[in-house]
Amino acid sequence: QKEVEQNSGPLSVPEGAIASLNCTYSDRGSQSFFWYRQYSGKSPELIMFIYSNGDKEDGRFTAQLNKASQYVSLLIRDSQPSDSATYLCAVSSSYKLIFGSGTRLLVRP
Amino acid sequence: SQTIHQWPATLVQPVGSPLSLECTVEGTSNPNLYWYRQAAGRGLQLLFYSVGIGQISSEVPQNLSASRPQDRQFILSSKKLLLSDSGFYLCAWNQGTDTQYFGPGTRLTVL
């Protein structure tokens, strides 16, 4: 059973801080890694994807991938209350994506 | 640009009633289409996957079925709903890459 594990949270950070979200996966053959944001009652929206080991930055978001450790993370700099949501990690496996159960982030004003 | 639609947005159905949820994609041809279910506070469970008209792969055996009568139309059905079918149903598409894009979802409550 191929799995993606995330801490369910909630992860609570003050406004302006860095939020660090983590994800581990079991399928060593996975090639693509994704972070989605899901607001309560809404559908997931893509934040970032990463294919190669290392860091990928997009605005306030940085995705980090370490394939040897089977570990993906998402850093959110200068966290805002509008970043409060559930963050889903997804990993490619053959023709589909395997999703973690998500980490709930709460940014305190 | 591509857009994905789902309807209805919300649905309340009695146990044992039939179900039909529809998903359509605009602005692309021959997309891969997916149906997911998300139970309250849980992750996404892949239900069905389709690479083309009439081609359906089932991931989880259950009382649901899917059909793809047209290139950009994906339908999720059930003949008799169970209480356990309640959840948030999401349709997604991709084409040429692994990146999937989700529709707005249908919230189903079975009473």
With pLDDT > 70 as the criterion, what percentage of chain A qualifies?
100
How many Å apart are CA B64 and CA A56, to the nearest integer? 39
Is the CB of residue B99 less than 8 Å from the CB of residue B85?
A: no
Distance CA B63, CA A90 (A): 26
Q: Which helix (H) or strand (E) holds A86?
A: strand A85-93
Query: What pLDDT, in 10s, does the model give residues B44-97?
Result: 999 999 999 999 999 886 889 999 999 999 999 999 999 999 999 999 999 988
Please list every residue in chain B whose beta carbon sits closer than 8 Å to the beta carbon of residue A42.
104-105
Per-run averaged pLDDT (10 residues), chain A, 109 residues: 89 98 94 96 96 96 96 98 97 90 96
Say which of B34, B42, B90 has its CB closest to residue A101: B42
Report the gap between the CA of B101 and the closest CA in chain A (Å): 7
Looking at residue B61, its pLDDT comes to 66
CB-CB under 8 Å, B44 with A88 = yes
